Amino acid sequence: MDKTPIIEVKDISKRFGNTQALKKVSMRVHSGEVMGLIGENGSGKSTLGSIISGNLKADEGSMLLHGEKYAPQNSFVASENGVAMIVQEQGTIETITVGANIFAGREGKFVKGGILNRRQLNIEALSLLEKIGVHDIRPEELTNNLSFEDRKLVEVARAFHREPDLFIVDETTTALPQKGREILYSLIKKIKEMGKAVIFITHDIDELIMVCDKVTILKDGSYVTELQKSEMDPSLIKSLMVGREISDEYYRSDSDYDDSKEYSPALIAKNLSTDRLKNVSLEIRNGEILGLVGLSDCGMHELGKALIGYYKDLKGSVAKANGVKITNTNVAIKEKIAYVSKDRDSESLLLSASIKNNINLPYLDSLSKFGFYITQSSENKHASFWSKKLDVKCSHISQPVLELSGGNKQKVVLAKWLGNESEIFILDCPTRGIDVGVKESIYHMLVDLKNQGKAILMISEELAEIIGMSDRILTMKDGELTHEFLRDPDLEESDIIKYMI
């Protein structure tokens, strides 16, 4: 192994306003290594990756790439130097084609005589997609038409245009179905075998241990330690990153379905059909957590949106138990139905807006006086209460949401709906891309909501989460519901999988 690190960061510091995101962090990644990077939400992982990839500039410190001074002005310059990063949230431009996204910033190679040769661009884009193992995405297709998961695969293809010397993966696997994860794992293995390097940012400790050779742990923007493969014990990693013991059993303590309790209907869907859904009917009940699980393309994410009136061409009906029909999203909000999207940045938040404005948005009518006047003090009071209750780590409630970590963004989303006094919660992958500490607090919150008699639908691709948290479980395949399970201590993942595949 070459003794010169592929990347070396020395005493890197970064501040966002009053928030110290990184404090003199140093790290080395060598040829043929997969370095894990883990820590709580807000620990600085993504910030460090973004500095290395040219998406952000450090306030202090220095970097060496292959032993040479390295200070990229932007991500394009970093890419030209062999450094590529896939970000946690959406990193594609929705209004252009897949091919144009893959070669964004490099279109010049297809221009002759001032004319862009789109045919050649699409040929090369298709070749690159197939090279990484993606065979069902067409370069000519508008990116906006793709699912969140397929857009992430487009980002992977773009990153591999030049087979980077350093590949930075930021929580990408949480956005991918199993097939997509296998594609990414295969590419990471290939990079390692080529003598290049990977920085793998994740909150999934089992995945970290499986994929990585070493792990660097950050806490509150500071370096904690580096562990070798042989030292990667899940309990040790959790305690180092969180600063306290985290139980492996953070799901519900009760293990049986309570058939003595009468779960009254809260939301009733009948014969829902779209281009992805086929005659789906279900009930979400008060005081119950209903789990919905399947492969990513089974239609469960579309079902979540259908229940809040998102689709104009929806066939069938969605209604509250009181008879009010949910015909669009405005009605859903008025009827106290909360929706948390898997695609957090695009569909659950206004990134450029403040924490305060995001939390207050669905509650503005309740804050108004005389039907039109809202005082600044009432806005500040409402947003401050809920940001503190959800423990959103921020410098102040006027801070833009885009500056927050993934986990703290998710807290803002939940604060928004809790603050709106929601009665029905439709949660699509609510623990995606968040650390074990925040995940534990969200599970406790769901149990509290259940005990308050709220109705909860939790959509998830994680079987352990679904089994651990649900009263009832519905499986889905090819746009149809295939089976129902009741909470049972003997229920195994293998029992469920056969109804998903």
From first CA to last CA, the distance across the chain in angstroms is 42
* Confidence (pLDDT) at 78: 92
Which residues, at least 6 apart from 92, have a Cβ–Cβ distance to it below 8 Å?
101, 143, 151, 154, 155
Q: Say which residue the tokens 């690190």 belong to.
A: 5
- Is the model's pLDDT at 72 over the cut of 50? yes
Residue 88 has pLDDT above 90, yes or no: no
CA atoms within a 13 Å half-sphere pointing along the CA-CB vector of 205: 22
What would the mean pLDDT of 154-178 be, rounded to a whole number? 83
Look up residue 451 and give its amino acid.
N
Taking phi over 0 as left and psi of -120 to 50 as alpha, with beta for the rest, 491 belongs to beta
Q: Identify the bridge partners of residue 68 per DSSP, sorted by sequence position.
A: 65
CA atoms within 13 A on the CB side of 194: 15
- Superfamily covering domain 7-242: P-loop containing nucleotide triphosphate hydrolases (3.40.50.300)
- Check residues 437 and 199 and name the one with the higher pLDDT: 199
The predicted pLDDT at position 18 comes to 73
* Residue 246 banded pLDDT, cuts 50, 70, 90: low
Q: Are 331 and 324 in contact (CB under 8 A)?
A: yes
Q: Which two tokens stand for residue 300?
A: 């469960």
- Residue 425 and residue 456 in contact, taking contact as beta carbons nearer than 8 Å: yes
pLDDT exceeds 60 at position 248:
no
Q: Residues 358-383: what's their mean pLDDT? A: 87
Half-sphere exposure of 485 (CA within 13 A, CB side): 28
CA dist 495 and 485 (Å) reads: 9
pLDDT, residue 260, reads: 80
Assess whether pLDDT exceeds 90 at residue 268: yes
Q: How confident is the model at residue 206 (pLDDT cuts 50, 70, 90)?
A: confident
Q: Go through 456-491 and write b for each residue having 16 or more CB atoms within 10 A of its CB, e for each that does not.
A: bbbbbbbbebbbbbbbbbbbbbebebeeebebeeeb
Angstrom distance (rounded) from CA 270 to CA 236: 48
For 373-419, the pLDDT digits (tens) are 888 999 999 999 999 999 898 889 999 998 888 888 999 999 999 99
80 φ, ψ to 5°?
-65, -25
Structure tokens at 82: 């062999």
DSSP 3-state of 486: strand
Give the pLDDT band of residue 370 (cuts 50, 70, 90): low
469 versus 111: the higher-pLDDT residue is 469
CATH number of the domain at 260-336+423-501, out of 3.40.718.10, 3.40.50.300, 3.90.1150.10, 3.30.360.10? 3.40.50.300
With pLDDT > 90 as the criterion, what percentage of the chain qualifies?
61
The mean-pLDDT minimum among 55-69, 244-258, 456-470 falls in: 244-258
Residues 11 and 63 sit within 8 Å (Cβ to Cβ): no
CB 501 within 8 A of CB 295: yes
What are the start and end residues of each CATH 3.40.50.300 domain in the chain? 7-242, 260-336+423-501
Residue 500 has pLDDT above 50, yes or no: yes
Q: 241-247, long-range: CB within 8 Å, 24+ apart, which pairs?
A: 241/38, 241/39, 241/40, 241/43, 241/217, 241/435, 241/436, 242/40, 242/435, 242/436, 242/437, 243/219, 246/436, 246/437, 246/440, 247/440
pTM of full prediction above 0.85: no
Distances (CA, A) of 377 to 364, 374, 383, 387, 453: 13, 9, 10, 15, 31
Quote the CA–CA distance of 214 and 335 in Å, as a whole number: 49
For residue 423, give Cα distances in angstroms to 117, 218, 326, 409, 416: 54, 37, 14, 22, 13
Separate counts of helices (H) and strands (E) for the chain: 18, 21
- DSSP for 252-314? -S--S--TTS---EEEEEEEEESSS--SEEEEEEBTEEEEEEE-TTSSHHHHHHHTTT--TT-
**With 50 as the cut, is the pLDDT of residue 1 above it?**
no
Which distant-in-sequence residues (6+ apart) come within 8 Å of 64 by Cβ? 5, 7, 8, 10, 70
